[in-house]
Amino acid sequence: MSILIDKNTRLIVQGITGRDGGFHTAKMKAYGTNVVGGTSPGKGGENVEGIPVFNTVRDAVKETEANTSVIFVPAPFAKDAMMEAADAGVKLIICITEGVPTLDVVEAYHYIKQKGADLIGPNCPGLISPAKSTVGIMPTMIFKQGSTGVISRSGTLTYEVVYNLTSKGLGQSTAVGVGGDPIVGLYYQELLEMFQNDPETDSIALIGEIGGDAEERAAEYIKKHVTKPVAVFIAGQQAPPGKQMGHAGAIISSGSGTAAEKIAAFEAVGVPVAKEPSQIPDLLKSRL
């Protein structure tokens, strides 16, 4: 199995006629993702890569029975795009857009939850269930179908860890990039629960970074609820307090959110923490 997306995923692309939307639509379709439609206001009736374009998400869902949406629209319009998808009945919304104002995300997040849907992102690379479906911008050639679930705040570190997993013979069930902003949708705890309940996931790689306390809460959740082997890497171990490192959410404030605190939280509950991303496969293998 896998979590969130598989061969039954019916995807629409919001912003399909834009440069990024069109480029990644072609990539997702070529991988085998069932891209059933796209939206671009005023361009309904056109097509991209043979995929029909609709004026609204509601029109697209009505005609295609889409259950998943990926968003490639400029940041000022991302909030409306996320809320439009939820309002149209889409159950999984992936927002790739970066630079979305935090208050916009807060409003969209709560609206999406009220509609009974899930959000991944914004400012994320998306997700992939190898050999089944990919939604977003991940480099598919490094992934291999298997049994290790991957959860990450960092896109590029996801790719480094996955490359090492694949090289060591550990394929992936699903890899999810949650996004690096201060507020995002599905996070460690929800995804850990999904992987714990997935019978074809036998281990989990978790990639965290400085800022916030999500990793500390994940460690506590693992202690109480996760029985499968977990290995962790925390980025930003040399970051000075008060300096943002890369992501908007990667900032140590008032002495909290440091890499040392996060590492200590995982080690306290018996979860091994890699000093380098390349060590994760061996840490998992030693516990399988």
- Domains belonging to the chain, first-starting first, are 11-120 (3.40.50.720), 139-285 (3.40.50.261)
260, containing H or E segment = helix 259-268
- The encoded tokens of residue 185 equal 């949708």
Residue 269 has a CB neighbour count (10 Å cut-off) of 15
Residue 49 and residue 62 in contact, taking contact as beta carbons nearer than 8 Å: no
**Which segments of 92-216 are extended strands (E)?**
92-95, 118-120, 126-129, 133-136, 145-152, 172-177, 203-209
> What local confidence, expressed as pLDDT, does residue 154 receive?
86
User: Which residues are identified as catalytic?
Assistant: 247
> What local confidence, expressed as pLDDT, does residue 256 receive?
58
Residue 253 and residue 242 in contact, taking contact as beta carbons nearer than 8 Å: yes
> What local confidence, expressed as pLDDT, does residue 250 receive?
47
DSSP state, 222? Answer: H
- Within 13 Å of residue 127, how many CA atoms lie on the same side as its CB? 33
Q: Of 2, 49, 42, which Cα lies nearest the Cα of 25?
A: 49
- The encoded tokens of residue 43 equal 């361009």
> What local confidence, expressed as pLDDT, does residue 33 receive?
98
Low-confidence ranges of the chain (pLDDT < 50): 250
Report the b/e string of 190-203 with b at 16+ CB within 10 A.
Answer: ebbebbbebeebbb
- The encoded tokens of residue 138 equal 């991940």
* Distance, CA of 202 to CA of 196 (rounded, Å): 8
